[in-house]
């Protein structure tokens, strides 16, 4: 790995931003809003049905101009085109990055190595729709003739987080007599709890794995087969109770799943960008093909916006640039994603893989060690729960934590005043973070001076507010695509490969070495460092079958 000054921090746009931030850092949102009463209306963009208010960031008009220059200087425009054109922008894996093809309309053509992939995508969507309709209608029967009542998706990472997030997000639109579960962890408890009250005769497993070799998924898939056959007895039953979603037909066949029951996707779909591919089969089973297509249309609308809108009005570009500013120029280390929508409870977890597996990188595309921070830590919880837990630190702690608030104008479950109260809270939080409450204001309320510092809110905490009309399948598509492209924007500026994930490999290899040391060679001397060796020995003494 070369240790060298990369051109990014030496570039004119970066240096200009550094100089600007040195003075802008001292500005307070209270003053910025006081100086410009139209700020809240100016620093917002409305596009693709999303109202994006970024006025509560510690920025001026000049900050935006400089960030836009940074984007231009980074070649963002041509990189976007390269992605949409199917160029192999995932350089370390020599792959095209074409999740946008998964939601391209039938009339479009997108070539990968000379082959138009759009007809392939639609053929799989049609196959998924045919299967989904048969299961949803009860026409698809289990081995003993009973209709399917339970669907269990077995997968991990992108083969789990997208499906579970989308299922939870769109549950309102789901067929309620079908029961959906998601098993991801290799911890047997995940599988045991997901299946303990289910009848195998009515249960369908979707084994979702791009590679079909992932340890966790294959371990769970084998346990599922054992569990199903305990009741169903005959291996012929597998064909009625197991389907696969994968790029690897050979491994699917080896596992014993008929490739007629396999839903294909392609190496140009990254795991964390795969929820629109056949990996979304559980989503389609839950909400039906029509709603699934509406979700894809939402994704596509944001794709078109990202590709065509000028950067100053481009939602993903602005979201990405603001994240860069907070991270690289204001020193923020994390981003809190706070959806004020219970159905989005798994959205922060989904975003964690999307953002951190994509942009948690330490070298540039050329393999040069970066000398600037890359991907921040994303985390969050649905509002209002977080307000009664970690918001204290965001409001009064010593760290700068930019927040993305996400909210919807209409409730899917309107009950009394709940929605107004919910929305009042999200607006109040963004307001409190930005403006705070000065010691004078606190004392003016009658607080004694010894207590006033504790009750003072400095404010000047940045946030974005992302407001949509209603959580529909299309709205979810737009929201996810907004973050996907914002991640891409940041990756381009940092000159990193946002589409590989080498950082997950070492732990996998070491685990494969340790497994036999725990199981088949329990008396051997483990071959690791003294800490790992001692842990292995101690674990062996805990194992149920260890000699006592
Ligand atoms: O954790 C690494 C990873 O490769 C993710 O990128 C991916 O989403 C996940 O594992 C699951 O991989 P697969 O779909 O091949 O089982």
Q: What is the pLDDT of residue 548?
A: 46
d(CA 465, CA 540): 51
Give residue 148 CA to ligand 1 midpoint distance, Å.
Answer: 28
d(CA 242, CA 458): 56
DSSP 329: I
Q: Is 272 in the pocket of ligand 1 (CB under 6 A)?
A: yes
Q: Is 210 in the pocket of ligand 1 (CB under 6 A)?
A: yes
d(CA 35, CA 49): 30
Looking at ligand 1, which residue's alpha carbon is closest to its atom 6?
Answer: 271
DSSP characters for 32-51? HHHH-TTHHHHSEEEETTEE
Q: What is the pLDDT of residue 546?
A: 56
Q: What is the pLDDT of residue 545?
A: 65
357 is catalytic: yes
Q: Which among 369, 508, 525, 537 is annotated as catalytic?
A: 508
Q: Which among 234, 388, 454, 544 is annotated as catalytic?
A: 388
Torsions phi, psi of 181, nearest 5?
Answer: -135, 160
Q: Is 248 in the pocket of ligand 1 (CB under 6 A)?
A: no
538 is catalytic: no
Contacts of the segment 35-42: beta carbons below 8 A, 24+ positions apart = none
Q: Which among 357, 381, 484, 517 is annotated as catalytic?
A: 357
**pLDDT tens across the length of the chain (548 residues):** 555 556 899 999 999 999 999 999 999 999 999 999 999 999 999 999 999 999 999 999 999 999 999 999 999 999 999 999 999 999 999 999 999 999 999 999 999 999 999 999 999 999 999 999 999 999 999 999 999 999 999 999 999 999 999 999 999 999 999 999 999 999 999 999 999 999 999 999 999 999 999 999 999 999 999 999 999 999 999 999 999 999 999 999 999 999 999 999 999 999 999 999 999 999 999 999 999 999 999 999 999 999 999 999 999 999 999 999 999 999 999 999 999 999 999 999 999 999 999 999 999 999 999 999 999 999 999 999 999 999 999 999 999 999 999 999 999 999 999 999 999 999 999 999 999 999 999 999 999 999 999 999 999 999 999 999 999 999 999 999 999 999 999 999 999 999 999 999 999 999 999 999 999 877 889 999 999 999 999 999 998 665 44
Give residue 506 CA to ligand 1 midpoint distance, Å.
Answer: 14
Q: What is the pLDDT of residue 542?
A: 92
- Locus of tokens 């196959």: 127
d(CA 5, CA 193): 52
């Amino acid at each position: 790995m070369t240790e060298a000054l990369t051109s990014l921090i030496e570039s004119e746009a970066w240096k200009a931003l550094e100089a600007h931030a040195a003075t802008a850092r001292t500005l307070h949102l209270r003053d910025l809003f006081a100086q410009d009463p139209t700020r809240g209306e100016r620093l917002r963009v409305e596009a693709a049905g999303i109202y994006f208010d970024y006025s509560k960031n510690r920025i001026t008009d000049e900050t935006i101009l400089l960030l836009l220059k940074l984007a231009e200087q980074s070649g963002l425009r041509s990189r976007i085109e390269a992605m949409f054109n199917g160029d192999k922008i995932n350089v370390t894996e020599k792959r095209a990055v074409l999740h946008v093809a998964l939601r391209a309309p039938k009339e479009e053509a997108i070539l990968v190595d000379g082959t138009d992939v759009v007809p392939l995508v639609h053929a799989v969507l049609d196959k998924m729709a045919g299967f989904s309709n048969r299961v949803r209608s009860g026409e698809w029967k289990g081995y003993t003739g009973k209709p399917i009542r339970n669907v269990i998706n077995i997968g991990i990472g992108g083969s789990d987080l997208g499906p579970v997030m989308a299922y939870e997000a769109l549950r309102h639109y789901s067929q309620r007599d079908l029961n959906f579960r998601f098993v991801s962890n290799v911890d047997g408890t995940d599988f045991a709890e997901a299946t303990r009250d289910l009848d195998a005769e009515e249960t369908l497993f979707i084994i979702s794995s791009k590679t079909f070799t992932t340890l966790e998924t294959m371990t769970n898939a084998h346990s599922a087969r054992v569990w199903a056959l305990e009741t169903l007895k005959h291996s012929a039953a597998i064909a009625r109770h197991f389907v696969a979603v994968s790029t690897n037909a050979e491994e699917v066949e080896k596992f014993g799943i008929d490739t007629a029951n396999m839903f294909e996707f392609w190496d140009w779909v990254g795991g964390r960008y795969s929820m629109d591919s056949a990996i979304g089969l559980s989503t389609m089973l839950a909400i039906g093909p029509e709603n699934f297509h509406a979700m894809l249309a939402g994704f596509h609308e944001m794709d078109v916006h990202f590709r065509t809108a000028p950067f100053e009005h481009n939602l993903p570009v602005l979201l990405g640039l603001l994240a860069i500013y907070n991270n690289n120029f204001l020193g923020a280390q994390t981003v809190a994603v706070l959806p004020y929508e219970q159905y989005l409870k798994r959205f922060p977890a989904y975003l964690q893989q999307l953002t951190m597996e994509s942009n948690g990188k330490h070298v540039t595309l050329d393999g040069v060690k970066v000398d600037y921070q890359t991907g921040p830590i994303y985390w969050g919880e649905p509002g209002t729960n977080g307000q009664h837990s970690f918001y204290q630190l965001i409001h009064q702690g010593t760290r700068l934590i930019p927040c993305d608030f996400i909210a919807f104008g209409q409730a899917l479950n309107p009950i009394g005043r709940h929605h107004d109260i919910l929305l009042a809270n999200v607006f109040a939080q963004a307001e409190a973070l930005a403006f705070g409450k000065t010691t004078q204001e606190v004392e003016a309320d009658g607080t004694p001076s010894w207590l006033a510092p504790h009750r003072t809110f400095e404010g000047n905490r940045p946030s974005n507010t992302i407001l949509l009309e209603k959580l529909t399948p299309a709205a979810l598509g737009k929201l996810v695509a907004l973050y996907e492209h914002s991640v891409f924007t940041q990756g381009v500026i940092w000159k990193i490969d946002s589409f590989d994930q080498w950082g997950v490999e070492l732990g996998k290899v070491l685990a494969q070495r340790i497994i036999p040391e725990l199981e088949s060679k329990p008396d051997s001397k483990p071959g690791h460092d003294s800490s790992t060796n001692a842990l292995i020995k101690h674990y062996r003494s805990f194992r149920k079958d260890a000699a006592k």
